[in-house]
Structure 1
Amino acid sequence: MAGATPSSSSCLPPPAALVDRTLHALGFRFTHISPGKVAGRLKVTETCCQPFNLLNGGVSALVAESLASLGAYVASDFQQVAGVQLSTNHVKAALLGEEVEAEACPIHVGRTIQVWEVQIRKMDSSTSGRNVLVSSSKVTILCNRQTSQAHKDYEDTIKKYAKL
């Protein structure tokens, strides 16, 4: 279901390289793309860590803005988007080797401005397998500019993988 095309029941996630090159370079895998939710997973590797082998807060912020922007892009019927405000609270560490799950959901979807909340969680064996909040972000996005014809291929790629 996650990442499936609207006419398919396949469970294959979309290739992250086609959706977001930067997140792909970090190893991020999208599991769901729709106007109401964007989600995915990231294994915390050395590339994602600060010197103390903890998930770098900048990576958390990058994931948050990227997922919220993708969601806003789909929710705005593929208008060009730009993040105008990002606020992230880091509440628990994710260690090298752990896997985190990120989920972005809209709080407000207007014609000009959208606000999305993004939570990054990790599995914590000490809490019976429940997900533990690593960071919480709020992202405000401007979404009222027409996408140029030059970006039509990107729009088509997203439409292929989004659950619309």
Structure 2
Amino acid sequence: MDRRREDLDGALTTFGFEIDEVSPEKVSGHMEVREKCCQPYKVLHGGVTALIAEAIASIGGHVASPEKRRVAGVNLSISHVKSAKLGDYVVAEATPLSVGKTIQVWDVRFWKCDSSTSDVKTLISSARLTLLCNLPVPESHRKVGDIINSYAKL
């Protein structure tokens, strides 16, 4: 396993989610729905989707923050409109709706993709995350920002 990926967000790595792009305008990634991501009916667990939404929007919030401050989610709302089953390929994309000095709002969408072509996507979930984005970075965690920024296309 790539240690740099795990340092970026260990929970994402645990569920097999891989980051594809990090910029102030978009954070995206993908995963195959695995057993450990499923509820007992072998469909993607809504809590896993919520975790991914908060994680990728928070990464984007940090990168979009003018002073690269620490961010914290203060509100997450997510709607699950279709299911993804074990083995499905899922992509996620977070984009900012508003980037202020104190508050940011990010939109996160999840699609399952047809395995034969990435052109066919079906929306499965939509989330909105509000971030507080002016928090100080503790001295003991300064390298976290460096790890996030190493992924970013600034």
d(CA) in 2 for partners of 1:14 and 1:73?
20
2:57 equivalent to 1:72:
no
2:77 equivalent to 1:87:
yes
d(CA) in 1 for partners of 2:58 and 2:14?
18
For 1:10-29, list aligned pairs within 5 A.
15-29=4-18
Three-state SS of the structure 2 residue aligned to 1:117 is strand
**Residues 1:132 and 1:144: Cα distance change in structure 2 (over 3 Å):** same
Kept in 2, the 8 Å contact 1:37–1:71? The answer is yes
Kept in 2, the 8 Å contact 1:41–1:100? The answer is yes
**Residues 1:128 and 1:26: Cα distance change in structure 2 (over 3 Å):** closer
Deviation at 1:148, TM superposition (A): 2.0
Greater displacement, 68-77 / 132-141: 68-77
Which position in structure 1 is the counterpart of 2:125?
135
* Uncovered stretches (5+) of structure 2, i.e. residues with no partner: none
d(CA) in 2 for partners of 1:25 and 1:156?
21
* Uncovered stretches (5+) of structure 1, i.e. residues with no partner: 1-12
Greater displacement, 142-151 / 102-111: 142-151
Which position in structure 1 is the counterpart of 2:90?
100
**Residues 1:35 and 1:131: Cα distance change in structure 2 (over 3 Å):** same
2:34 equivalent to 1:53:
no
Of 111, 122, 135, which residue of structure 2 is paired with 1:121?
A: 111
Cα root mean square deviation, aligned: 1.9
Of 43, 51, 73, which residue of structure 1 is paired with 2:32?
A: 43
**Residues 1:15 and 1:43: Cα distance change in structure 2 (over 3 Å):** farther
Which position in structure 2 is the counterpart of 1:32?
21
d(CA) in 2 for partners of 1:90 and 1:17?
27
- Point out 4+ residue stretches in structure 1 off by more than 2 angstroms: 13-16, 124-129
For 2:15, give the aligned amino acid: L
Which position in structure 1 is the counterpart of 2:136?
146
Kept in 2, the 8 Å contact 1:38–1:71? The answer is yes
Aligned residues: 152
* TM-score normalized with structure 1 length: 0.87
